[in-house]
Amino acid sequence: MKIAIFAAGTGGHIYPALSIAEKFGKENVIFIASNRAVERKIYKNSGFQVSHLNISGFRGKNLFEKFMWPINLSICILATIFLLIKHRPQSVLLMGNYISIIGLISSIFLFKDIYIHEQNSILGSANKLSLVFAKKLFTTFPLDEKKEHNFGQPIRSAFNTLSYDTYPIKEHILVLGGSQGALFFNDQLSEVLNNLDLNEKILFQTGEFNKIKQTEKIEYVDFIENMPEIMAKSKFIICRAGASTVAEVQSIGLPAIFIPLPNSIDDHQMKNAKLACTDGGGIVLDEKNFTMEDFSQKISEFSLENFQQMSKKMGKSIHLESAEKIVNEIK
């Protein structure tokens, strides 16, 4: 069967969608995304057919852009309807955010079967709206919603063959601000880490818009392609708490210091992080309470932990079969 997958915004939406798509096969999937540079970079080497729409989210726009947004949305809906007629998928899968609104309206118009995936610990606005029309809702965390199937977060197949024990000798500490980077990480956290006396070198993903001078302690990179292997070679990770990052950390069993994005919608990253650390495989630091001294002390103390024990507490296998279970439910 053919399926159209609507996935846009950041790697947190796109990577799970790609994992699901792999199970359907490249010839059976069309992706519909927006036109942002980070999306094009992720999709570029995927091998899937992708149509990019000239649209972005509503939040953060000026008055004129907000006025024009519904007009642009209507144009994108019409373009999507023609795409769906051309490719004739039997079903659509909506991965959340603004692109899902386009997918929802187009699919209702063409009487397509609608499925949803919610990555976070709180149902997003687009998915709340879509749930009324959807056949099934797939979730990463249990949400106690109607039509829900809690199968975990689909992750890249490369994670299936790797764990914390794959590489006994750890090469680095990994710092991951997300596929777009994080200004707090690149500024304040970078300064904290440069002043700490840690045994391992630090591999620090900054995002493509943040150029930082290399230091003896920290290797800065724009983007990490081979994330599964890099995570498996890490002693521990310092990162945000988007659902994809949390799921990948859990699948490896990688001890973690989560610093949730403070302005995430409904504070879902804080909830994601706390759920992930329930068994003691990591800690959560609140960026809102940041001081140089406090974060330095907590990261130094964390670096002395028994990471083998923490790895066992962090490890979760639910995500490894998530994509296959979702595909079986749709088929």
**DSSP run (H or E) holding 133:** none
What would the two tokens of residue 211 be? 């150029």
Cβ within 8 Å of residue 181, ≥6 positions away: 205, 206, 207, 208, 209, 210
The CA-atom distances, in angstroms, between 65 and each of 36, 60, 72, 73 are 16, 9, 10, 12
Distance CA 99, CA 13 (A): 11
Q: Do 11 and 96 form a contact (C-beta atoms < 8 A)? A: no
3-155+321-330 and 165-314, same CATH topology: yes
Does residue 211 surpass a pLDDT of 70? no
Q: What residues does each domain of the chain span?
A: 3-155+321-330, 165-314
At the topology level, CATH places domain 3-155+321-330 in Rossmann fold (3.40.50)
At the topology level, CATH places domain 165-314 in Rossmann fold (3.40.50)
Q: Beginning with the edge strand found earlier in the chain, give each strand of the sheet holding 148-150 in spatial order.
A: 49-53, 29-34, 3-6, 91-94, 113-118, 136-139, 148-150
The CA-to-CA distance between both ends of the chain, in Å, stands at 7
Does residue 61 surpass a pLDDT of 70? no
How confident is residue 37, by pLDDT bands cut at 50, 70 and 90?
A: confident
Residue 300 — φ and ψ, nearest 5°?
A: -65, -45
**DSSP run (H or E) holding 235:** strand 234-239
Helix axes 11-24, 37-44, angle to 10 degrees: 30
The H-assigned helical ranges of 135-267 are 183-184, 190-194, 227-232, 243-252
The string of pLDDT tens digits covering residues 157-203 is: 889 899 999 999 999 999 997 655 578 888 888 889 988 988 899 99
The CA-atom distances, in angstroms, between 83 and each of 32, 42, 72, 79, 109 are 9, 21, 16, 6, 13
CA angle 278, 305, 236 (to 5 degrees): 75
Read off the pLDDT of each residue in 34-54 and give the average, rounded to a whole number: 90
Distance CA 265, CA 149 (A): 23
Residue 201 — φ and ψ, nearest 5°?
A: -70, 155
User: 58-62, 190-194, 286-290, 317-321: which has the minimum mean pLDDT?
Assistant: 58-62
Q: Do 70 and 42 form a contact (C-beta atoms < 8 A)? A: no
Q: What pLDDT does 67 receive?
A: 66
Q: What pLDDT does 209 receive?
A: 59
